Structure 1
């Protein structure tokens, strides 16, 4: 590689906290696409707050991806946008379809994840959504009722829809793509979190054998397996 080619090759630095969260899909997709990146994990929340105060984050949020090329640095935000960017870095990885209809199906499955867990996120990260007052003891009963409704009705309803899409696609991948797409990388880590009790019901996938099969298959993708076990 010549000096000019090295200068033109973007470098990537992913900024997030030291846990999976919204960044895990991006970490895995970058790995799958064989894109070198620095996985920067904040030492503490103060480091994030300083970065936020600096104005470098477009919406004051992470994950963020610093892309440096030709002496210029661009900071990308919003995880779905970052994933689509990553998918375009290596066409051979086939993470995002060129066909507009299939791409729309991939986007829909990604968007379903946001719909499925917005209630979980609001109830767990109350301050972030302006509901910090719900941490007061007097609201404990209401919060318990919310958690019960989410795990009894809301989350299963969305998982049912996801399972239907998966089964209709007949490829074993969530959006019916012939190979794993960014939709699979969005949902794979979320299913890990569900099994770890994130929603409050570690057995939530018991009623969805096709999703359990997908999850096991996702974990066996060579790049994903290498990321976790190499």
Structure 2
């Protein structure tokens, strides 16, 4: 079995969905977190592909790009669906999530307080309800919405949507979840291995 080392900063950010995927798989990994002071990271940066984090080390091989890493981990541990149709369904949900995340990132990086307030209001009143409604419809296409986004078991799609609601919820007021989506979020949180990880994470 390879040794896995995930390198990122000491925050959730783009690495948390990868940490959650490792947790769901029951796979141990070294969770290397560089202090946000950046000094240690600046010393290591020249040795990292594309000079950015997150980066996953698999034995001696380094994999950059958060999207590539999360898909690698999902494929490696059976979190990417059982056939091409299911793989594609996971990709559709990831793409839908990434479209939405552009709005969340715009809020995170906006420095002007007036513009930030406008973006936050639009996120809470328009973008989040639209996103949740879209996810509800996608979820209902599989087992009436009473299971997971893909097939009959948890996948990267479920983990990513849970992580987005968790992280965005720390920065903005979430609207009420539609019923099926709310049920899914609870199932992900209560997945035994994820529940154990979240208890250790402590928030």
TM-score, normalised to structure 1, is: 0.78
1:88 aligns to what SS in structure 2? helix
Give CA deviations for 1:83-128 in whole Å, capped at 9, x if unaligned: 22112333xxx311231111111011112111112122023124xx
Counterpart of 1:32?
24
- Report the alpha carbon displacement of residue 15 of structure 1 after superposing the two structures with TM: 0.6
1:107 paired with 2:100, answer no
CA distance in 1, matches of 2:142, 2:74: 21
Residues 163 and 26 (structure 1 numbering): CA distance in 2 closer, same or farther, change over 3 Å?
same
Question: Retained in 1: the 8 A contact 2:48–2:55?
Answer: no
1:148 paired with 2:118, answer no
> Aligned pairs, how many?
198
CA distance in 2, matches of 1:17, 1:11: 20
- Report the alpha carbon displacement of residue 225 of structure 1 after superposing the two structures with TM: 1.0
1:11 paired with 2:8, answer no
1:16 aligns to what SS in structure 2? strand
- Report the alpha carbon displacement of residue 57 of structure 1 after superposing the two structures with TM: 2.8
Question: Retained in 1: the 8 A contact 2:132–2:177?
Answer: no
1:175 paired with 2:175, answer no
2:76 aligns to what SS in structure 1? coil
1:116 aligns to what SS in structure 2? helix
- Report the alpha carbon displacement of residue 207 of structure 1 after superposing the two structures with TM: 4.7
2:130 aligns to what SS in structure 1? helix
CA distance in 2, matches of 1:160, 1:88: 28
Q: How does 1:95-134 map to 2 (within 5 A)?
A: 95-126=79-110
1:157 paired with 2:157, answer no
Give CA deviations for 1:146-198 in whole Å, capped at 9, x if unaligned: 221222212221221011111221253442321001111111122222433x2
Unaligned runs of 5+ in 1: 1-8, 127-134
Give CA deviations for 1:56-92 in whole Å, capped at 9, x if unaligned: 132x322211111xxxx221122222122112333xx
Unaligned runs of 5+ in 2: none
Structure number, greater radius of gyration: 1
